Amino acid sequence: MEPATQILGIETSCDETAAAVVRRHADGRGEILSNVVYSQLQDHAAYGGVVPEIAARAHVEMLDALVDRALGEAGLQLRDIDAVAATAGPGLIGGLIVGLMTGKALAAASGKPFYAINHLEGHALTARLTDGLAFPYLLLLVSGGHTQVVLVTGVGDYRRWGTTIDDALGEAFDKTAKLLGLPYPGGPAVEKQAAGGDENRFALPQPLKGESRLDFSFSGLKTAIRQTARSIAPLGDDDIADLCASFQKTIADTLDERVGRSLARFNREIPGARDPKLVVAGGVAANRTIRARLDETCAAHGFSLVAPPLHLCTDNAAMIAWAAAERMAANCPPDTLQAPPRPRWPLDEESAARVGHGRRGTKA
């Protein structure tokens, strides 16, 4: 039996600076030895969103210390690490360069293999770290930058079934919050307001409802919120709460209908799968109303919902280290030190391009 492998991971794709050490045992079990994240939330709050230049500078200032801390908390030194991994994309180019160059430098200095990891692959494989999930399973990725349904059949084997054709779901939450004068980040702010609102007061459109394709659209819903808010202006506290509740309910209804179609397709195409799983990842997975609705959707189709702990659903370096460990176990060759940053990097490179899919494309 091969010995366990210990991977140092680095994540700097957006506004979290993160470093972690993960151990993969010979039997496939994963163990997080350290997982350190510096959140830049306060640095960006005043701007209502992430400012790329501020994010890149914060990565430069914080990353070296976080790597030292991650190694220290794991009780290891760089020489004890079997490989170094860093997010190469998709993400903000400035941040990607910082993490990628740091990872390459550490790998070169220590003589260890280097893995340039797709951030989305980290999300796709996290449930195997936390829950020991077997292939195949479906992944629903709902974050500020991505909304996708992906069939995960193996390490490096991903098929995108649906994606947003405009805004990502997390982006829709942020923009709705901004329209209503709520603070950044929008997801928690909208959920808090929705708790005291009437979800049935406003009838909002359910994008792509009834369409056979498995894509998502949230731009029209955001527009409906703006138009409704203008029609009843000036807004009182009850109006804002009711708009948030109606928005959140419509999102839950939309995911129920859209994701339900993906679950039905899985059952048709992979009928022999025992106890099929839907994995949900990304910051929007923290929303309790959405998670509860997804649980109901899964139950209706004979699925189980798997949601890793929130700190592993949002951006973190443990998922990057784990993706590299999985690649090593699957005998995937390491990357060269010339591996470039890839701001747009779809997980499934054979699927037709869509806006929000991680590469340039049309809305077709």
pLDDT along the chain (364 residues), means of 10: 88 96 97 96 83 94 98 98 98 97 98 97 96 97 93 97 95 95 94 98 95 95 96 98 98 97 97 93 91 96 95 95 98 97 93 51 32
Residues 5 and 197: their CA atoms lie apart, in Å, by 50
| Residue the block writes with tokens 């890839």 | 342
Q: What is the pLDDT of residue 106?
A: 98
For 137-307, which CATH class? alpha beta
CATH number belonging to domain 5-130+312-329: 3.30.420.40
Does residue 90 have a cis bond before it (omega within 30 degrees)?
yes
pTM: 0.93
Distance of CA 27 to the CA centre of its chain: 27
CA 141 distance to own-chain centroid: 5
Whole-number CA gyration radius for the chain: 20
Looking at residue 216, what is its pLDDT?
Answer: 97
- The CA distance from 347 to 158, in Å, is 7
Nearest CA-CA partner of 117 in 327, 259, 315: 327
Domain range annotation of the chain? 5-130+312-329, 137-307
DSSP bridge pairs for 38: 17
Predicted confidence at residue 353, as pLDDT, reads: 66
